[in-house]
Structure 1
């Protein structure tokens, strides 16, 4: 996994995330100080939308036409159920924070076995785009997630 970085000038972080799909605005002061020494291109929102981020701007424009766009934004916690494309009928039950990062996850395998993991178990935890209307159709309740979480197997620390 990798990332592409730019400086984007905008009135607010939401101006950026409302314009571009699948982007993360870094506001952490320590990260910003570290990145200041990098040789990054700088754009305003309109320049980025017409330039290097044009595809992500188009993707967001298409998403905004869907009535479910942004339905999950602004929530402290979001719970989702994903079908596992590699395992039929496997599923993933996930809990996300307001940035879209996973906090807890349960994998339900085709044979019915389960495995629960937390953010400490993953080497990387990129956020999902909670504005994407696709995720609104995957939403479940906290109670549904907690029921699966309670019954899931947890790997014992060694």
Structure 2
């Protein structure tokens, strides 16, 4: 499926689910968009947030010295986690654990450059009781303006 210059969420999900992410990364670079991918597993939602924030900072997706960039990323992560956890962003406190892959994508999905950059976080993996075999697939997406 082809990437679309006006669909940041779709592109974040395609990057996440791609069997050949290098091909998608090359196409995103042509759009002047920044991206990174990674994995995280935990019973603590704050560790999921921290892993995604750390990857975004290390890969130059956001400038950690500019508060609005960190703030936008945080809200995109929380929105994606809401999808993963079905609206209750709780893991270990209710005996749930996740094993997730993530993609973070930053770019301007509008024709008008003055619209500025947006950020999307996509999550895919498993969620369930902390017992092997007691989990199911899950996916979440969060998008926020910077």
User: Relative to total residues, which structure has the larger strand share, 1 or 2?
Assistant: 2
Q: Same fold (TM over 0.5)?
A: no
* Structure with max Cα Rg: 1
TM-score by length of 2: 0.25
TM-score by length of 1: 0.24
User: Relative to total residues, which structure has the larger helix share, 1 or 2?
Assistant: 2
